[in-house]
Structure 1
Amino acid sequence: MTPALPAAFLQAPIAHRALHDISDNRPENSRAAIRAAIQVGYGIEIDLQLTADDRAVVFHDYDLARLTGQSGPIRQVWSTEASKLPLLFGDDGIPTLDEVLDIVAGQVPLLIELKDQDGAMGPNVGPLEHDTVRALQGYDGPVALMSFNPNSVAELARIAPHLPRGITTCAYEPKVELLPQDVCDHLRGIPDFDRVGASFISHEAADLARLRVSELKAQGVPILCWTVRTPEQEAEARKVADNVTFEGYLADHPG
C-alpha cells in the first residue's frame, strides 16, 4: 500500500530551500535557513546532491560555482570537504543530510527532493536514494521524498516502501529543463505516478492549470506546488494546490 503524504504537509506553508535570505546570512539550503524556518514553524523543502563518497548533502546545484564561488561538480567533492566549503553569504559549509535531520528533529515537516543523478531522467540511479534512506533510519517526524526523475521515486519505493514519496513535476519545456524533446514530452503528462507508487505531486506553480494536474486532484491526490514568490502568486496557486512552496516573502501561517 502506498504511504500517504502526512497531513502536516498540507498545513504550514513550505519554505523553498528553507527560509533563506542572504541579507541575513541565510543562504539557500543552509543550516541557518533551516533553523530560521523551524523558529517560525514553516515546513522545509531541501535538495539533495551526491558527493564523491556517495553521501547525501543538502545542496541544489550540480556545480559549486553559484553557491560557493568555487568551480567544479559537487559530485567530485568529498562530504568532509563540502562541509568546510563556505557557502556565499553564509557562515558555514554544505551540510550533510544527517546534520539537517539532527537540526530539524521532527519539529516541522521536511520535504526532501533528490536531484536527478542520471542526467536525463533515466534509470542510472541508486547511490543517492540509498544514502538518503540510510540517513532517515530511525528519523521521527513528518518527512516526504520526491524527485523529478520517476526512476528515483521507483527506487525509493523499492528500498523504503514505508516512506511517503511523490513526483516533482513541471511544464517540461526542453529549452528550460535542458532535456531532450522526447524526454520532456514523456514526463509532461506525469505518466509514472501509479507505477512508482507516488502519493503526491509538487508541480510548477505557473502550470497548475494543466489537465493532468486536475485529473490527479480529482482522484484525491495532494497537490503541492513550487515556487511562489509573492502573496498574489500564492493566492492564485491555492485555487488548485493544497499547499505552496514559497520564497522571497513570508507566507501567511495558518497558526
Structure 2
Amino acid sequence: MMATKTEAPHTGREVPQETRVLVVEDDAMIRQLLSMKLSKDGFQVFAAESGPEALRLAYKHHPAAIILDIMMPGMDGFEVCRRLREMTDAVIIFVTAKGRTEDVITGLQTGADDYLTKPYDYRELAARLVAALRRREADRPSPLLRAAGEFLWLADPARRLVFLDDGTTVQLTPREFAILQFLVRNQGQVMSPDAILAHVWGPEYIGDRHLVKQYIYRLRKKLEPDPSKPRNILTIPSAGYLFEASLGEKRPAG
C-alpha cells in the first residue's frame, strides 16, 4: 500500500505522511518553533534537548531524518552524529551557529548529509530536508539485487551488507553503499566523479574529486581481493569509474 503524501507548504513538494523527523536542540524556544513548523509541513516530529535523549529517541522511533545542533551541554553534536551513524542511515542535517569551514568539514566527516548555519531561513532548511530525503529514498535498493560474480546484496538492505563469493560478509557505511549501488546499477558505464558526487552527496559537492577517490579506495580495500589490481571497481583514466561484474576470469592486459 502506498503511503499517503501531503504537500509541504514551505517547499511545494510532497512528503509522505508520518515521515519521522527528530529535532535535537537544547534551546527550548528554537526547538519548539522548529518542531511546530515541521509539523505544519506534514512531518511527524520528535524533539530532544540533549545528546543522550537524541540517541534514545532515535533508537526508539527510527526517524527518517535528524536535525541536529552542535553546541549542547555534555555530549556535543559531533559526538551525537558519530553515535547516530552507528545505528542509522537517516538523513542528518546540522543546524548550528558554528559556521567556520573547519566546523563544516568536521560535521560532514562525522556523517552528516548537510550543514546549515544559523541564522537561516526555514524555507531553505525545509527544501534541503525534502531534497535529502528524496535522494535517500531513491538510493534504497530492492530487497534482492544481484551483480553477477563477486557481489550479492541480500535481504536486509538497511544493514548495508555485501556478500562476497568466498563467504565473507562485508559491512559498508551509508555512503560507501550508495556509491557501490550507483556503480552497480550503471554497470558497464563509466560514471564521472561529478556524477557520483551529485548522486550521493548532492550537486553542491560537484568538483570535489578527491572525496570520490577516497571512497573508491575504501570500497576497494573492503571488497577487492587485491585492491591494487581491482577486478570490479575500475578506474577509467580521465573519465571516471566503472563497475565490471567480473566472474574472476583474467582480463586481457592493456
TM-score scaled to structure 1, two decimals? 0.31
Tell which structure's C-alpha radius of gyration is larger. Answer: 2
Higher relative contact order (CA 8 A, sep 6+): 1
Give the number of the structure whose residues are more often helix, by fraction: 2
Q: TM-score, normalised by structure 2?
A: 0.32
